[in-house]
């Protein structure tokens, strides 16, 4: 019984649900503020994403006449729920254990592709030509960034697995545990290329400016989410902010989970700080300092640099082990 209560608490309040939503929206707000400061303007307040959500819930919902209704309505829900589940898998060292199951890294990998799939379903169900273009671009984008991500995950799993006497460990909590005992992987020179590859993967997955090709605002007017209004759009916004938490949290769990002492609150703040630094490096600065690139360029870029970097790490790990 208590297990079920704990599960519900996990899903709805602490690492998932309420906490993750607030956390993600705050990160988004800070991202917008810093981006504004980098462009020498004042920018919106940090709580702007909350306001946007409140406003969106008060708007009328317009559905295109030719849309496939069920798919159109369910797509944002699918992405949102998937991300909500993914958040509970992310361990926060010193605060939250994560799910202690054997293959949660693989489950996370699948869940991480859900937002892109939700966007694809939404875009194609909306029956708008822009949505269709966005859908096809989203698909190519996903194929290009998924490969380096997979190699990075396998590399980390093998690194930990080989060091503990097995072959590969696909359990996030074990990976975190290993790093707590033997020092973070960040300080291991063989893992640096993998870390770099992951840093490059983040903007692609988040769809921020150099890689915002699927929702190119000025060109195909936000692609897949073009036809959404009101609550549907709000769910997509929530999904994006949760995805940010998941991706940043995953990076921290994989490379630098070290907590600061025993205190619960301090550890949580430390986690927030790490997320913030990671976000500024890999999202905010990137998105304010670049322009959009073409689809084929992004595809080639992802197959060239992050994949090769991740492979270098993998080979080094294998040579060591």
Partner 1 sequence: MKKLLQKIAKKSPWLYRINAGSCNGCDVELATTACIPRYDVERLGCKYCGSPKHADIVLITGPLTARVKEKVLRLYDEIPDPKVTVAIGVCPISGGVFRDSYAITGPIDKFIPVDVNVPGCPPRPQAIIDGIVEAIKIWETRL
Nearest CA to 192 out of 113, 309, 26 is that of 309
Q: For residues 65 and 181, which CB has a smaller minimum distance to partner 1 in the complex?
A: 65
Write the CB contacts of 51 (distance below 8 Å, at least 6 apart in sequence).
none
Write the CB contacts of 257 (distance below 8 Å, at least 6 apart in sequence).
91, 92, 93, 176, 179, 180, 184
Q: Does residue 32 touch partner 1 according to CB under 8 A? A: yes
Q: For residues 46 and 192, which CB has a smaller minimum distance to partner 1 in the complex?
A: 46
Q: For residues 49 and 79, which CB has a smaller minimum distance to partner 1 in the complex?
A: 49
Query: Is the CB of residue 133 less than 8 Å from the CB of residue 292?
Result: no
Q: For residues 111 and 226, which CB has a smaller minimum distance to partner 1 in the complex?
A: 226
CB of 193 to partner 1, least distance (A): 36
* Residue 277 neighbours by CB distance under 10 Å: 12
DSSP state string for 125-191: HTT-HHHHHHHHHHHHHHHHHHHHHHHHHHHHHHHHHHHTTSS----HHHHHHHHHHH--GGG-GGG
Q: For residues 100 and 219, which CB has a smaller minimum distance to partner 1 in the complex?
A: 219
Nearest CA to 224 out of 125, 109, 304 is that of 125
Residues in 202-221 that interact with partner 1 by CB under 8 A? 217-218, 221
CB of 229 to partner 1, least distance (A): 4
Count of residues of this chain found to bind partner 1 when the rule CB under 8 A is applied:
31
Residues 58-97, one symbol each (x = binds partner 1 by CB under 8 A, - = not), give xxxxx-----------------------------------
Q: Which stretch binds partner 1 (CB under 8 A): 44-52, 190-198, 199-207, 259-267?
A: 44-52
Q: Which of 175, 209, 233, 244 binds partner 1 (CB under 8 A)?
A: 233
Interface residues with partner 1 (CB under 8 A)? 32, 36, 39-45, 48, 50-52, 54-55, 58-62, 217-218, 221-222, 225-230, 233
């Amino acid at each position: 019984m208590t297990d079920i209560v704990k599960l519900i608490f996990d899903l709805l309040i602490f690492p998932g649900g309420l906490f993750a939503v607030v956390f993600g929206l705050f990160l988004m707000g800070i991202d917008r503020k810093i981006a504004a400061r980098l462009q020498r303007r004042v920018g919106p307040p940090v709580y702007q994403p909350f306001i946007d959500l409140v406003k969106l819930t008060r708007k009328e919902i317009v559905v295109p006449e030719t849309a496939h209704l069920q798919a159109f309505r369910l797509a944002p829900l699918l992405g949102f729920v998937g991300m909500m589940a993914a958040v509970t898998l992310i361990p926060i060292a010193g605060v939250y254990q994560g799910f202690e199951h054997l293959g949660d890294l693989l489950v996370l990998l699948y869940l991480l592709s859900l937002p892109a799939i939700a966007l694809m379903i939404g875009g194609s169900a909306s029956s708008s030509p822009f949505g269709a273009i966005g859908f096809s671009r989203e698909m190519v984008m996903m194929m290009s960034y998924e490969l380096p991500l997979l190699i990075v995950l396998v590399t980390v799993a093998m690194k930990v697995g080989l060091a503990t006497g097995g072959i590969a460990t696909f359990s996030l909590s074990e990976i975190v545990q290993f790093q707590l005992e033997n020092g973070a992987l960040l300080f291991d020179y063989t893992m640096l290329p993998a870390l770099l590859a992951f840093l490059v993967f983040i903007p692609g997955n988040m769809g921020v400016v150099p890689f915002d090709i699927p929702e190119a605002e000025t060109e195909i007017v936000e692609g897949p989410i073009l036809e959404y209004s009101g609550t549907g759009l709000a769910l997509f916004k929530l999904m994006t902010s949760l995805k940010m938490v998941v991706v940043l949290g995953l990076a921290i769990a994989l490379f630098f989970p070290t907590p600061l002492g025993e205190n619960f609150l301090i550890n949580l703040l430390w986690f927030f700080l790490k997320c913030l630094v990671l976000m500024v490096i890999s999202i905010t600065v990137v998105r304010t300092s670049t322009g959009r690139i073409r689809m084929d360029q992004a595809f080639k870029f992802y197959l060239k640099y992050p994949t090769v970097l991740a492979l270098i790490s993998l080979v080094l790990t294998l040579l060591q082990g």
